[in-house]
Structures are given as structure tokens and as C-alpha cells.
Structure 1
Amino acid sequence: MIGKPMIGTSLFQPPFKANATLQDEARFVKIIHGSTNLYVPDHHLSLSSGDMFIMKCDNFVNIWDENEDASKSQVFVANLSPEFLKEIYDDDIPSVFHQKESKDHKAILRIDPNNAIELFISSMLFYFENKEMMTEELLKLKMRELIMILLNSDQDGSIKLMLKSLFQTKEYDFKEVIHAHLYEDLSIQDLAFFTGLSLSTFKRKFKTVFKTSPNQYIKTKRLMKAENLLRVTDQRISDIAYDCGFNDIGYFSKLFKSEYNISPSDFRKSLTV
């Protein structure tokens, strides 16, 4: 087999953050235990134990939450690449993988719960515990089995569409990336990573596009949203802070008071006077 394993499990201790770039590579993932926020340049998914998804070529930021019982998180991963497909199918790759011009497809596709996939993963966990039984030919058969299960469970054509464009990289507009993550707890470095630019180049381009610095623009937009939510909702201030991309309620209150000369709680009280 080619250097990197086709299929396996990973056990790790959260909280954990990973930035990854998949080039000419895709993955099927099942979260066995744990929860994460998985970000791509134009959106993100909140995922937890039992969730399954496909990741195609793109940039990803994966932020794993600490488990309540301090246990380790675990994932099942099947890697796919053009080289792996040639090995799996002995160069007779199914037509579904032939790259064609197609509509842009999101970089992550959540897979609905599926008994056939659950049974497949259970069988693979058995082989992982009994490695002497896993031959190269059996591994090829199991990978073909997984792909066939995915295709047979495709109710709306979304999996087939994903597989057609599995190794195609989507082009993103710079503003699209920024606006997709304005209110999420991502760093400037993460946003630069999504655009494929170095941090210094990202900051220069940001200043050209938005006429201000990334920190100033994002802070202003988040506080504007918070101010509006304080006006029109009865959400708790801590929830508003979180919804606007602030994980630290004290830091949010400090910024809000600096911008509006009043604390968030006093601002809300003033609306009822």
C-alpha cells in the first residue's frame, strides 16, 4: 500500500485544534466519540458522536471540544486519493469518480445515519483488533464495500455529486470567506489559512478590500450584531457574546463598554426606561 494508511482510527485527548489542507485527497469520517466544530472557508458544521461526513479537497480547521468526562475522542477515517482509487480498483476506477465540470459543492457533506455503514465500521474495528486477519486484498474489498454502501444509500444524489468532484478544489471569493466566519471564534491566522495567504499578505489584502484592519473590522461587526441582539431579543448576555464570536464574557463586556460607553447589561436596562 502507498505510505499513508487507507483506513484506520485515531484516539486523542481534547480540547484539540487542527488545521489541515487536503490536496488530491478526501476523507470519510465517523465520529465514534467526541464533538467538534469543523470549519471550511465558506461555512462550518457542528458534529458529535455518531455523526458521519465526507471531506473533499479543501482547507479545514477542526476544533475539538473537551469531553465532559475528560475522556479521549475517537474517529474512524477512510482516506481516498487518486492513487488509492487506482489500487482499490486495479486502475478500473468507476465512472462516478471521473472528474467533470459540475456545480460547486460544499467541502463537507454530512451523511445520514445508516445501518449498513455502522455494520461496516463495526467489522473494521474487529479487523483493527485482529490485524493478522487484514490482508491487502481484503482491505481493497472493504474500501470498495464502503464506497458501494455510500452510493447505495444516496437518497438525493448528494453523495454521487460529492464523489464526482471529490478531488476538485473550489475557488472562494475573499469577502465570502471573511463574511462566512465573522461571528465565529476563529483567529485571524485561521482566516488567512482559509484564503491560502500568509498572515502578512492576508492583512495587506484585507486592508485593501475593507479599508481597515482585520481586527478592527471584525470587532466592529461583532459589536454591531451584539448591540442589535440586545435590542431585539431577550437572550442572556453570555449567549449573545457567544453568538457574536466572543468566548470570554468579560472581554466582550470590556469591548462593548469601550465602544458604546455603557456596559451590555446597562445598555439593555436603558431600553426599558
Structure 2
Amino acid sequence: MNEKVAIQTLPQEIQNINQGEVQLHEYLISKSVTKNKVQLNKNVFSFLLDGTKELITHNKTTLIESDKFLLIKSGNCLMSENISLSNNYRSMLLFFPDQAIENFLTKYKFDKKSNANDAPFLIFKYDTITTNIVENLVHLKNHPKAFLDTILPLKLEEILMHLVQKNGVDFLYNFLHQTNDSNKSFIETIQKNALINLSIQELSFLCNMSVSTFKRKFEKEFQTSPKKWFQEKRLEHSDYLLKTKKMRPADIYEDVGFENFSSFVQAYKHKFGITPKQSQLNS
């Protein structure tokens, strides 16, 4: 099981950050962290400079390297940051509220009539312009807070305008709409993360629920307990890996959510009537 960790609320828990609408923070660590529970009260550009990041949201998971950067919608997510060969993970974080997008679209007279796709985050690849913008942010980080409160909204506009010119404006409408179908979002969270080795605590966090509420809702929707449902899905996936991908049983048990090899063999035999090895030999 994954250890229970505290929820980090950003940007409000960051000390000594400027207090304007748009906020800048340099994040630097020398030890990798895994599945940190993060509650974002603002949207954020996460500009990777060193290391890699894995991001898990209610319906999407990805791993990105330092040749890319993220635009993450406010909400709950799990973040893992892995240090590079230089033993560092470094990123510049630029936080901003939904209203900043509204203001941007109004100021530059973009049409606001569009359908949002409700993507929890977007990935962009660095180019010369974004690299220069981020380098400028690095130089700005130590300036007085009053100056940052004035300049950062302009830097945000610069980034947004470049991305709009390059990718079109539609991606911004994602930040003007929130899904109202909580039941659909709950089911999507379960289905999208069925094969990811997350604890019930982590899944309930992604659903913005207490563990007890999560379990009650799960049993109502799926007519079984979370433990049984996820084990069924992961055993079915393990059967696919054994028979189709020809992977060794000892190489997959952790990936399908089992703490040790013997418990995996026992569960597999209980479901399929034979051991993983026997199943592979018979296929």
C-alpha cells in the first residue's frame, strides 16, 4: 500500500511568494517525490527545467521530460517529480486564476463561444519563444514582490498570446467551463485509473471525497467493493500481459497492484483455476 501523505495546497502554502493575481515560484528539490497529493487553488504553468514529472488527475496520466511544459487546471492531482542525473528537479511555476483567462479573451476580443473538452492538463513542447519567456521568468524570480505583481500578468499574457497564435484559442475555453456531472466524473476517474496502482486514499483524493464517501459511492455504482473491483480488473490485465505480451509473472505482479509475488499467484489461481505460469504454458 502507498503511504498516506499530507495534502499540499498551492499556491497558498508556498512561503514568500508574491501575492498578486499571477504568482511565480521556483520549485527545486534534490530528492525525488512520489504521488504527492496536490490541491491546486489556481491554474498553473509548470515549466520543467530539470528532471521529469508524472502527473495523475481524475482522468489522465502522463510522464513528461524537461523538453516540455504543462498547463494544469485547478483541482486535485497526484504529482511525482524525479530528479535528473544532476540530482535535481527544477521547475518554474506560474499560477493564475480562471479570471485571468476571461480577462485575456475579453481584452484581445477573442470569441468565447466554444465547447470545452474538460482536459485536466495540456502539454506543450518548448520552442525558442517559450524558452526565452521562461529564462526571463527565472531572472525575474528574485525581484521585489510589488514589481512581480505588476509584471507577471503581462508575462502571462505574453505566454498565452504565443500559445494562441501557435495552437489556436480553443484550448483556453477549457478554463472557462467546469463539468457539472459529478457522477460521470466519478465513474471516469475509476475507469481511467483501473490499471494504475493507486490506493483508495489517492483515488478518493482525485475524486475530492473522503475515503468513506468514496467507498459508499463506489459500492452504489459498481455493486461491489473497490478492493474486489480493482483486483478483478488487474487480474484480467495480468492475464493479457501473460498470454499476449508473454511477460514473466515475476515481472508484472507489482505493476498490477500486488505487494508480493505469492499473493498475486494465489489471487490469479483463485480467479482462473491455474497458476500464472501454467496459464502461460497453456496459451
What TM-score results when the alignment is normalised by the length of structure 2? Answer: 0.77
Shift, 1:264, TM fit: 2.3
Is 1:34 equivalent to 2:46 in the alignment? no
1:17 pairs, out of 20, 25, 35, with 35
What is the distance in 1 between the residues matched to 2:21 and 2:274? 56
Name the amino acid aligned to 1:226.
Answer: S
What is the distance in 2 between the residues matched to 1:240 and 1:260? 17
Equivalent residue number for residue 193 of structure 2: 181
Unpaired segments ≥5 residues, structure 1: none
Equivalent residue number for residue 224 of structure 2: 212
Is 1:62 equivalent to 2:79 in the alignment? yes
Give the 4+ runs in structure 1 shifted more than 6 A: none
Per-residue displacement from partner, 1:126-171 (whole Å, max 9, x unpaired)? 233x5369934433432322222222222xx3xx222223143234
Is 1:165 equivalent to 2:174 in the alignment? yes
Shift, 1:260, TM fit: 4.1
1:2 pairs, out of 19, 40, 56, with 19
Name the amino acid aligned to 1:112.
Answer: K
Cα separation, partners in 2 of 1:4 and 1:92, compared to 1, 3 Å: closer
Unpaired segments ≥5 residues, structure 2: 1-17
Query: Across the two proteins, how many residue pairs are aligned to each other?
Result: 261
Shift, 1:203, TM fit: 0.5
Shift, 1:257, TM fit: 4.2
Percent identity over the alignment?
22
What secondary structure does 1:234 align onto? coil
What is the distance in 1 between the residues matched to 2:236 and 2:251? 15
Equivalent residue number for residue 142 of structure 1: 155
Q: Counterparts of 1:1-273 in structure 2 under 5 Å? A: 2=19, 6-12=23-29, 13-23=31-41, 25-65=42-82, 67=83, 69=85, 71-82=87-98, 93-96=107-110, 102-128=115-141, 131=143, 135-136=147-148, 137-154=150-167, 157=168, 160-170=169-179, 171-172=181-182, 173=184, 174-237=186-249, 240-241=252-253, 244-245=256-257, 252-260=264-272, 262-269=274-281, 271=282
What TM-score results when the alignment is normalised by the length of structure 1? Answer: 0.80
What is the distance in 1 between the residues matched to 2:109 and 2:95? 19
